[in-house]
A and B are shown apart, each in its own frame.
Chain A
């Protein structure tokens, strides 16, 4: 049966003039630029030096946020499905511990596996990714099969994973990792990995079935189900991917620090959510893009770096960060004209 409905009722419809839409990204890029310029100005007037005219500083900004950026790419997709993931920081720590335990070099007593010989870096990397993905899949299963709210399921995972990370070595850090492993976190590698991941998921969300289903589920779960989407399977997949990216974050963090510590990634999940929200992802679901999240991540990075550069008190930094997150969500509500009260 072909071309049903495109029968002779067709009339040459006049193409209505299209309104050009203002992408959300434009406004947050402006915020980013504006913020950088303010620091530049304050830098000259207060400290007599340039904020931006320091390539080293710019690299450090991106390096510092690339881990949070990875988590943010994952949590952006979760938030688009109208969910949330509070566990990414803890899952990062657990993955970092597992990876570090498998990446220790032979010259020292191994913390967890005493009889191991040096292993190629691929082993700890894959182990960390597997741990992260498993945690994410458990989140997804709890939310779909277990019918738990995402907030509760991932809150439970956040506490549990942190506990597991500590229990793994009874709180002891794992250090002396192989050079091959620590190379992953050296130089600009974390930045390259972050950008590669961002590009992959930007394409996945925009141009693949995976992306279309993700937006559809967040837009209207019931309608997505009726449209033939296997909502359960897809949600588990999305949380699994968020977990996988947290595992990757664990690799980078432990490789950069050349050690695994149970306290790694503390409250990163909140920074990741903040980056997504500042980048225009709507907590009511159905709306959000990776490009926005990347810019949101950079805003957080520039803010932290700028405050440190100006010598602002760390506590005040947190206060300002909190206010900016609130402002971002308010802007989001304002954009949708208060039609949806999330």
Chain B
């Protein structure tokens, strides 16, 4: 199958299948990985742990040939390799199983596994051989699946098994799994673990990424911990316990200054009771008060953004009660949320925030147009003046209000979006990752602004994946895990460790 003399199918003198040695990856503006070394031995499940943005995904992509490291070596079977792409890595015996499945629903199990490599006879696909090979492969994995079943008819868990079978079919000795249990039930996950153990016993190296602590201790043989793009620790699983793991994951100096001042906390403005969005999050209850910043912490996928979008009516709640100033309200559309004095800075600027082709002016004023138009005509002079004032107040770096939005830097785009919402004079401000992808200077300014807004009596909900930011800015912290609020922490008692305990249990 592969012409390489040495690859991840043969072991190096040190006994490693695949090694990443002092690998760094520089993206524009950020160093995602710095001098990271990882060694994978045969017959071992190696778990990668770390917070969001710790560098796990980047490392994984480098191992699988999706991206190339800026510096450092990749060695497969002891030989230095430079993968030109995932295909190249595959030929060296490295396969990655992505979080989102890449199967063709209307093709059969067998066709999906061997797509592009079907056994041929006289130029036609040899269906008998195809079925034979698939049956043998499924047998090897202990999977009871019909090779002729259409993949679209399988439940998600079985589709995942097909994905794994496909990865194994490349004669791979290194399998990289990115949160493979995120859409599986406990029972299905247990089945997956049996298969992983079977593969391990066949001498394969498995890289396993998950945020679920329980799983990590159940399945892995070795654990490597990452933090802020650096490798922190690697050891046998027996050397860790949950507390040590959490300390290693978050144990970082609070280097940045987060200037949340003492704000007078006033009466409750917004209160949610048992807020539920069927199938996404359930039974979320909290109060938000004037002058308060409520931090929303949790790992990616815990449902934080969904709660924000439900509060704002983007995805209306399916259950629970919402009160504003003590009066029950139902919000089923963002326009209603706006009328109630709410504002939402969305997480994904490009997807549902920016109008890239329009001017800074249009981007800033769009949410205020409703309240600044008489008989349908927009009071442009007044709006333009307000926008100009905002540009100065938030120090947006732009040549002018008529500059096209896409020519601004990420930080300045974010400021324009913040300005958009401040112009609606909100009383409740929801900020979803307000400083993501923003440079350090702009970040400090956004933090200072938030602090001032709170002092002026705004009630703020801030979602952030950066623990120092959550700790520095929040008066109270709601931690989410798996679609529900797993706990609340006051500013005084909150620590990174306590948050991670609640977020990753």
Contact = CB atoms under 8 A, between A and B. Distances in A.
Interface stretch (A132-140, A143-151, A183-191, A224-232): A224-232
A49 interface: no
B354 interface: yes
B399 A230 contact: no
Contact of A223 (B355, B365, B393): B355
A216 B354 CA distance: 10
A254 to B, nearest CB: 31
B312 interface: yes
Given A9-B393, A207-B380, A212-B369, A226 B456 contact: no
Nearest to B449: A5
B427 A1 contact: yes
Given A1-B427, A220-B352, A228-B334, A13 B392 contact: yes
Contacts of A223: 346, 351-355
Contacts of B320: none
B344 interface: yes
B393 A226 contact: no
B312 A226 contact: yes
Nearest to A6: B393
A214 B392 CA distance: 28
A308 interface: no
Interface string A14-26: 0111110100000
A123 B419 CA distance: 50
A46 interface: no
A286 interface: yes
A43 interface: no
A230 to B, nearest CB: 6
Contacts of B426: 4
Given A209-B376, A224-B366, A5 B335 contact: no
Interface residues of B, number: 54
Contacts of A4: 422, 425-426, 453, 456, 458
Interface in A211-251: 211-213, 215-216, 219-220, 222-230
A287 interface: yes
Interface string B43-56: 00000000000000
B452 A213 contact: no
A207 B372 CA distance: 12
Chain A CB count within 10 A is highest, among B378, B380, B449, for: B378
Residue from A223, A229, A230 whose CB has the most chain B CB atoms within 10 Å: A223
B457 interface: yes
Contact of B358 (A9, A11, A13, A216): A216
A323 interface: no
B333 A216 contact: no
A222 B376 contact: no
B391 interface: yes
A230 B362 contact: no
A286 B357 contact: yes
B422 A220 contact: no
B120 interface: no
Nearest to B309: A226
B337 interface: yes
A230 B336 CA distance: 10
B398 A16 contact: yes
Interface string A330-342: 0000001001000
A224 B425 CA distance: 18
B261 interface: no
Interface string B63-94: 00000000000000000000000000000000
A216 B351 CA distance: 13
Given A9-B449, A226-B314, A228-B367, 17 more contacts: A4-B422, A4-B458, A5-B393, A6-B390, A9-B448, A13-B391, A208-B373, A208-B377, A209-B378, A212-B369, A220-B352, A220-B356, A222-B351, A223-B352, A228-B334, A336-B357, A339-B406
7 contacts: A208-B373, A208-B378, A213-B369, A224-B355, A226-B344, A229-B366, A286-B357
Interface of A: 1-2, 4-7, 9-13, 15-19, 21, 207-213, 215-216, 219-220, 222-230, 282, 286-287, 336, 339
